Amino acid sequence: MLALRALRNSSLRAARPSLSPVARGYATVAEDAKEIPASLFDKKVDMSQVEKGKGFYINYKRIEDNLKIVRARLNRPLTLSEKIVYGHLDDPHGQDISRGQSYLKLRPDRVACQDATAQMALLQFMSAGLPTVAVPSTVHCDHLIEAQIGGAKDLARAIEINKEVYDFLATCTAKYGLGFWKPGSGIIHQIILENYAFPGGMMIGTDSHTPNAGGLGMIACGVGGADAVDVMADIPWELKCPKVVGVELKGKLSGWATPKDVILKVAGELTVKGGTGAIIEYKGPGVESLSCTGMATICNMGAEIGATTSVFPYNERMGDYLRATKRADIADLAKGFQKNLLPDSGAEYDRHIEINLDELEPHINGPFTPDLATPLSKFASAVKENGWPEELKVALIGSCTNSSYEDMSRSASIAEEAAAHGLTVKSKFTITPGSEQIRATIARDGQMKTLEAAGGMVLANACGPCIGQWDRTDVPKGVKNSIITSYNRNFTGRNDANPATHAFVASPDLVTAMAFAGSLTFNPLTDTLKGADGKEFKFSEPSGKELPPSGYDAGENTFQAPPEDRASVQVAIDPKSDRLQFLAPFKPWDGKNPADMPVLIKAKGKCTTDHISAGGPWLKYRGHLQNISNNCLIGAINAANGEANKIQNLITGEWGAVPATASYYRDNGRPWVVIGDENYGEGSSREHAALEPRYLGGYAIITRSFARIHETNLKKQGLLALTFQNPADYERVRPDDLVDLNGVTDLAPNSIVTLVAKHKDGSKDEIPLVHSFNEGQIAWFKAGSALNLMAAKAKARAASA
């Protein structure tokens, strides 16, 4: 690993994009666009064909009106990100607007939930006592389908195993007015892109890769379920005013370089936390060489650098995609509104990166982290120097990140060329269509047949191995091996629950080519393969269609609209279920400074939401807080012994599992704290990583730094999210300390909380802690959770009515 870090650093020094704190003037700016005709705002264009006739229209007039107010107040040029974000302000007159500092109150256009996170989000919404959702909202069944033997059979098995959860989601969405995409529909982000995303819109989704919709010029942010409940309950969504990182693309993609390589390069530059608190805004002439779905790929993986979201300016490639997906009216409306879908000339950015696409080399990122970026030309030597397993066991393409028609047709072109030389894949090869529409279209147009003939297995239209839903049997757990995917995330054990699996991320093109070589050291740009006739050949550059020439085939209709009469719908929850459980409210704060709290665990190094609340087989308990809490922090590495899920009970002295120890403390009236390292909670938006420690009796999570979504989730559930004022003070807290927190009774914006670490030897350390709570968030803490506060306000309104 050290060898690769040195290699990576030297390669970045040799071809590092230029950086500056402020950048002005880009090739594609608002001044180049036509003025917005007043008649545009009289047009009623449905946000989605799926909801046509329901009165959900694109509201560009609100953005225009808000921006007139904001421009007069700020008196400066605006970035594209600012235009869309500020265009959705709840109170443009009174809202404090300061990048990286103020908390914005926003009104998103819609909400989307995937089935794993939707369970808890809907359970919380039900407990709020409201009759219907306030904005268009959807639930998508994509996370609970395990990849095993192939698409149709895996889907049928999932429907049988998860019937109870699917029945709950189907009845709950019908009861409260949400759209429901049934199992087999496809992955949430692909469905959103095909049906709901639109330029200039704002959406929140209970999945970290919601920014995928930025490929259609939408500000789309991943959030926890409690944030989704706020918006569904007609409460403004709160977001810390994002900074803006401008990425100017020059030149043009060609050959083996793909949109995936743009974000792999950016991830290597910014690292897994470099985008925290910022929107990544792409611009420049190079944008024109990217397809709409390619732009979505780039935005999707912005989650891997911690970005609030990512977005592209409106262009005709987006228009082409909108027309291909039967939304020509939206394309025409966006074209007329384009002045507000581009950055202003002279707009200032907090950081600026330039990438020349003419010179961009394909990259491979990993293993174990999505920001370890290596140019393809140096990857073979990195494999050897770091001792990574050279044999490629499995190559996997598809997922929400790379399953477009263009991706599949380019991969099929590689498979066709290999077939012409008599070759089939040497490694196992899987294909995951992102949606039923993609599956049906590539089945009709022949790409699926080509990939299957090469030896590939087509999986269900679902997340599958990308999120750990993979019943992998070819390698025993604990055996070192290598896989390569076109997915987005590759944390330890992420795909197959095997910590010894070295997972790498690349474009579908590279993944497909490597499958025929069966080796990580194969470079299709320079290396040859031996055909069945014994002759050497080198792959041609991949080719493919951006959009299907014959249009998309919608495939099977898998959408359930909410019924007109919802009064008689009964939500299906069995009181005896081990998968679904009504939520009980958390206790409010007792008004005191806590004392003598055990350190449950001092987590060492990377601690993602996968470490805090594991996925894979645990996904089935996402609607049952008590049961899923048995996975709380079982993947975190204990600084006391370097092991996972083995901690000492500071009351009894016994060593045991994290959840059991936490339960012991809770049941004996001892709240506890977690001590965490840098970027604690990076990764998924799953709020279970906050719900579980709260349920098990946690009081505070204290870290060097937090990932954005996780920090918000902790606050929403009534936990104190605190950081060391001096990050080095992490070292002063010992795993066997008892701690006091002084200053909780005086908690206020920008206040200091003092941690008193009481060591076993009788000595003490007093350590200053800081936080980012505002007045509203402090009210959540005092009430016991944001939901408690919402329910109390609703009850008060009802009493006064």
Instruction: Give the Cα separation of 161 and 163 in Å (integer).
Output: 6
- Annotation marks residue 142 as catalytic: yes
| Active-site residue (options: 409, 684, 772, 785) | 684
For 757-765, which contacts have Cβ atoms below 8 Å and span 24 or more sequence positions? 757/732, 757/733, 758/596, 759/734, 760/734, 760/736, 765/732, 765/733
Contact 631, 616 (CB under 8 A): no
Give which of 60, 547, 30 is closest to 320, Cα–Cα. 547
- Annotation marks residue 32 as catalytic: no
| Active-site residue (options: 363, 472, 622, 686) | 686
- With a CB cutoff of 8 Å and minimum separation 6, the contacts of 512 are 395, 397, 411, 414, 415, 429
Contact 647, 606 (CB under 8 A): no
Give the pairing of strands 179-181 and 363-365.
Answer: unpaired
Instruction: Give the Cα separation of 274 and 267 in Å (integer).
Output: 8
3-class DSSP string for 149-176: CCHHHHHHHHHHHCHHHHHHHHHHHHHH
Q: Which residues pair with 278 in a beta bridge?
A: 243
Tokens 């309950």 belong to residue: 233
Q: Which tokens go with 550?
A: 């014959």
Tokens 């990993």 belong to residue: 366
Cβ neighbours around 273 below 10 Å, total:
18
| Active-site residue (options: 189, 327, 489, 710) | 489
Give which of 234, 410, 403, 213 is closest to 310, Cα–Cα. 213
Give which of 199, 178, 58 is closest to 119, Cα–Cα. 178
| Active-site residue (options: 8, 88, 107, 143) | 143
- Annotation marks residue 143 as catalytic: yes
DSSP characters over 505-573: E--HHHHHHHHHHTBTT--TTT--EE-TTS-EE-PPPP---SS-TT-----S--EEPPPS--TT-----
Instruction: Give the Cα separation of 509 and 413 in Å (integer).
Output: 9
For the chain, the residue count is: 801
Instruction: Give the Cα separation of 612 and 363 in Å (integer).
Output: 30
DSSP characters over 415-452: HHHHHHTT---SSEEEEE-SBHHHHHHHHHHSHHHHHH
Q: Which tokens go with 632?
A: 């709380």
Helices (H) and strands (E) in the chain, counts: 24, 31
Instruction: Give the Cα separation of 268 and 362 in Å (integer).
Output: 13
In what helix (H) or strand (E) does residue 82 lie, and over which residues does it extend?
A: helix 80-86
Q: Which residues pair with 722 in a beta bridge?
A: 702
Name the burial class of residue 763, with classes exposed (0-12), middle (13-18) and buried (19+) by CB atoms within 10 angstroms of its CB.
Answer: exposed
Instruction: Give the Cα separation of 730 and 64 in Å (integer).
Output: 47
Instruction: Give the Cα separation of 113 and 119 in Å (integer).
Output: 9
Instruction: Give the Cα separation of 723 and 6 in Å (integer).
Output: 31
Distances (CA, A) of 567 to 164, 181, 571, 615: 21, 21, 11, 35
Instruction: Give the Cα separation of 733 and 764 in Å (integer).
Output: 10
| Active-site residue (options: 207, 230, 407, 509) | 207
Distances (CA, A) of 9 to 3, 272, 352: 10, 16, 19
Please tell me whether residue 290 adopts helix, strand or coil conformation. Answer: coil
- Annotation marks residue 797 as catalytic: no
Spacing of C-alpha 191 from chain mean position: 15
Identity (one letter) of the amino acid at 666? R
Instruction: Give the Cα separation of 312 and 333 in Å (integer).
Output: 17
Residues designated catalytic? 142-143, 207, 489, 684, 686
